[in-house]
Amino acid sequence: MEILHRKVLGIEKDWKIYTKEEADKEGIKYVPWKEADKPGWVLSDDGYVGELIRVKPYNGWTEKVYSFGKSKYSEGDLNYEVRKQKRAFSTIKEKTWDEIEAGKQRTKDFVTLYTGYLLAGRKPDLVALGSALRPDQANPVRVAKSMLKVARIKKMIQDELLAVLGKLNIDDTYIGTQYKKALEIAEEKKDPKAMREIIDKLAEYRGWDEKVSVNAREEYDFTRIAENGEQKGKRIMEASAERKGLPGPSE
């Protein structure tokens, strides 16, 4: 038996997860998760037994909430081991929240807007960025900052920048050469502060900077923002540089 401590539907507790063999030995009555239509013990696809906590109908579909995940009624797969590995307990798909978020149009628009600021040499407007990403949230700056700390989003921004720069024949070799020249100048001037800044920028550009990895607290913060927004059931506006009056990558 495993203990999974998490908050589900406002209930924070230790949820018991059994293997099928353990559940049989304990005399627990369960049904395959796809057959369950009311709260009780259910069997996952990979042979684990957990609790179905709520079955709630929405417009045209039904959400089932378990102690270790969610499903859109009986569609797809429900595997405890996969969700445990990815910490994907609060999503319907067996993906991490940042995997899901990265595939959404609103996030792609956020990356495009942010990249536009960088290419225009302007300081990113966190209020505008956060509002474009999540107009339903009261603190857009917090939303934008949380998103920009996520490693997957950092990589998306880097890839978009490289794609735009590539069209201008500015590749890794060119950028590396410029960094090297700047570093040599800083060394000649014996300016350790400038040297460190150049090295830090190079490390961030190449993805060597460990600070791009989101820590557990930051991930929790943004996950909570996402979940709160989904619970409100509000539609997310599609952000665009033209609508917001912000520079796009080609401007």
Per-residue pLDDT tens over the stretch 43-89:
999 999 999 999 999 888 899 999 999 998 888 899 999 999 888 89
**pTM higher than 0.85 for the full model?**
no
Q: Read off the pLDDT of each residue in 180-197 and give the average, rounded to a whole number.
A: 82
**Which pLDDT band holds residue 205 (cuts at 50, 70, 90)?**
low
Q: Please state the domain extents for the chain.
A: 2-95, 101-244
**The pLDDT of residue 125 is above 80:** yes
Q: Read off the pLDDT of each residue in 207-231 and give the average, rounded to a whole number.
A: 44
Per-residue pLDDT tens over the stretch 77-99:
999 999 998 888 988 888 888 88
Query: Which ranges of 87-239 would DSSP assign to H, the alpha helix?
Result: 97-102, 105-120, 126-133, 140-148, 151-167, 172-188, 192-206, 216-232
